[in-house]
């Protein structure tokens, strides 16, 4: 945990205030003025990891989010590629096999084994955590949606969270919406399960794309607060493309206001597709988000 905190702090070198003084007059005590952006590996232009990191760095983006699949075998490759750069690993996006609420013990065991391998690698990379969904609607057979299952989930997450904590990282619950994951569809759902898991190693996140059932982006992030909010995903809000590609729909100011007020010091990471030329739209998106962060 100390490692993750230090990582987040060190990544704050590129602050918005260094780019613009707009809005300074409105700054309140305790406000975070730093927007730590991150790109998922898959959406970043470049043939090699080096090219991808060069591109990320060229935009002043400080986070890099790899997938969890095969991560254990890539620890040295990623560590070496990041050496001497201002870019750090943000979160690790899933990549395990099986799922935690599987009825079939063999599928649950597969989750336990592969998730723990990823957690160990995430810890070595100084990641803020490993993202997971307890069960997508399509994953069957799944334990029934009952109080007993919720208790079981919290117990299992407690053990997983303690394992993550011992490895210097966390498990990050990602809420979706009822069309994708009936079990966990609001940031508050995920935060409450993280609370009841009763481990410092269990956290949650918010994804602007999935947050369609939230009545308020601002309220959603605050429902987790800094105690539980460990990561944020972002995409355009009409088609899950790059922020800005859906025009006026792509307004994140309300959510950003909550992040600034709570002093959120982790990452806002791109998880999205692209309609236009990737380099062009990603560069424009970074400008748009910095502008909206300033306005928030
Ligand atoms: Mg996401």
Q: What angle do CA 155, 186, 173 make, to 5 degrees?
A: 40
The Å distance, Cα 25 to ligand 1 centre, comes to 34
Q: Is residue 232 part of a domain?
A: yes
Determine the structural domain holding residue 186 and report its residue range: 28-295
The Å distance, Cα 22 to ligand 1 centre, comes to 30
The Å distance, Cα 233 to ligand 1 centre, comes to 5
Report the predicted TM-score, pTM, of the whole model to 2 decimal places: 0.89
Structural domains in the chain (count): 1
pLDDT at 249: 98
Q: Is residue 66 part of a domain?
A: yes
pLDDT at 245: 98
107, two tokens = 């599928």
pLDDT at 183: 81
Nearest to 145 by CA among 175, 211, 93, 101: 101
Close Cβ partners of 138 (under 8 Å, ≥ 6 residues apart) = none
Which residue is listed with tokens 């690698």? 121
What secondary structure letter does DSSP report for 58? Answer: H
Q: How many CB atoms lie within 10 A of CB 147?
A: 7
Give the tens place of pLDDT for each residue, 109-145.
Answer: 999 999 999 999 999 999 999 999 999 999 999 999 9
121, two tokens = 């690698």
pLDDT at 288: 98
Give the tens place of pLDDT for each residue, 93-113.
Answer: 999 999 999 999 999 999 999
Q: Is residue 20 part of a domain?
A: no
The Å distance, Cα 28 to ligand 1 centre, comes to 30
pLDDT at 170: 98
Long-range contacts of 77-81 (CB under 8 A, 24+ apart): 77/49, 78/49, 78/125, 79/124, 79/125, 81/49, 81/50, 81/53
What parts of the chain have a pLDDT lower than 50? 1-31
Q: Is residue 5 part of a domain?
A: no
Q: Is residue 12 part of a domain?
A: no
Q: Is residue 11 part of a domain?
A: no
């Amino acid at each position: 945990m100390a490692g993750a905190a230090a990582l987040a702090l060190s990544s704050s070198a590129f602050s918005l205030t260094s780019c613009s003084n707009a809005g300074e007059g409105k700054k309140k005590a305790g406000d975070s003025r730093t927007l730590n952006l991150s790109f998922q590996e898959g959406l970043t232009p470049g043939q090699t990891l080096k090219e991808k990191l060069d591109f990320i760095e060229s935009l002043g983006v400080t986070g890099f989010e790899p997938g969890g699949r095969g991560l254990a075998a890539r620890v040295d490759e990623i560590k070496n590629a990041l050496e001497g750069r201002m870019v750090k690993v943000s979160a690790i996006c899933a990549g395990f096999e099986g799922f935690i609420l599987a009825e079939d013990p063999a599928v649950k065991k597969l989750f336990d084994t592969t998730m723990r391998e990823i957690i160990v690698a995430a810890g070595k990379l100084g990641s803020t955590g490993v993202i997971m969904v307890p069960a997508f609607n399509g994953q069957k057979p799944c334990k029934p949606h009952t109080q007993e299952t919720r208790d079981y989930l919290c117990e299992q997450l407690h053990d997983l969270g303690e394992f993550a904590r011992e490895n210097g990282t966390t498990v990050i619950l990602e809420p979706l919406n009822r069309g994708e994951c009936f079990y966990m569809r609001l940031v508050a759902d995920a935060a409450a399960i993280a609370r009841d898991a009763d481990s410092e190693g269990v956290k949650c996140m918010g994804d602007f794309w999935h947050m369609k059932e939230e009545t308020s982006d601002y309220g959603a992030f605050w429902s987790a607060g800094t105690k539980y909010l460990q990561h944020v995903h972002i995409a355009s809000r009409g088609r899950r493309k790059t922020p800005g590609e859906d025009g006026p729909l792509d307004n994140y100011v309300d959510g950003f206001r909550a992040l600034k007020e709570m002093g959120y010091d982790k990452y806002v990471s791109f998880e999205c597709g692209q309609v236009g030329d990737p380099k062009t739209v990603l560069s424009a998106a970074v400008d748009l988000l910095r502008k909206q962060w300033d306005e928030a």
